[in-house]
Amino acid sequence: MKSKNISIFVAVLVPMAAVVASLAYVYFDKAMTPSRDPFPYSSYIQSPKGLEGNTYTVLASVDAQLAKTDSGRVVSLRDNMGNPKFAVFIPDSLGLNVSANQKYRLNIRVSKGGSLQVESMKKF
């Protein structure tokens, strides 16, 4: 009888613990990611220098690697909003493996001269 109660307790406790752990992961993952405005593609195309210093979030997939430098790589992105492709610089210091056609959440900064630099990115 005692063994049966323990089995039922474990059968209920383990799935509940898994659900709680999953919810905690989602909550803390979002809490650790800075909330940034979505990338204003139209404004950027009209006046890239006007957005210098600003940071944005982009949900996009990598289309292709355009160039490789000593300090990083330039890739073209296809965002989820249907805008034309645009290029961003991903510094090697981030230590990321970037795959074509993989979807990412990127935090980008509009650098001096209007170029786009990735500050962080995560697959989703």
Domain boundaries, the chain: 1-32, 37-123
CA 81 to chain centre: 15
At residue 86, φ and ψ (nearest 5 deg) are -145, 155
pTM of the model: 0.70
User: Can you tell me which residue has the tokens 């970037």?
Assistant: 98
CB atoms within 10 A of CB 73: 17
What are 103's strand-pairing partners? 61
DSSP state of 71: S
Instruction: Provide the residue-wise pLDDT of the chain in tens; the chain has 124 residues.
Output: 566 667 777 777 777 877 777 766 666 655 445 557 888 999 999 999 899 999 999 999 999 999 999 999 999 999 888 889 999 999 999 998 888 889 999 999 999 989 999 999 998 7
- Name the fold adopted by 37-123: OB fold (Dihydrolipoamide Acetyltransferase, E2P) (2.40.50)
For 33, left (φ over 0), alpha (ψ -120 to 50), or beta?
Answer: beta
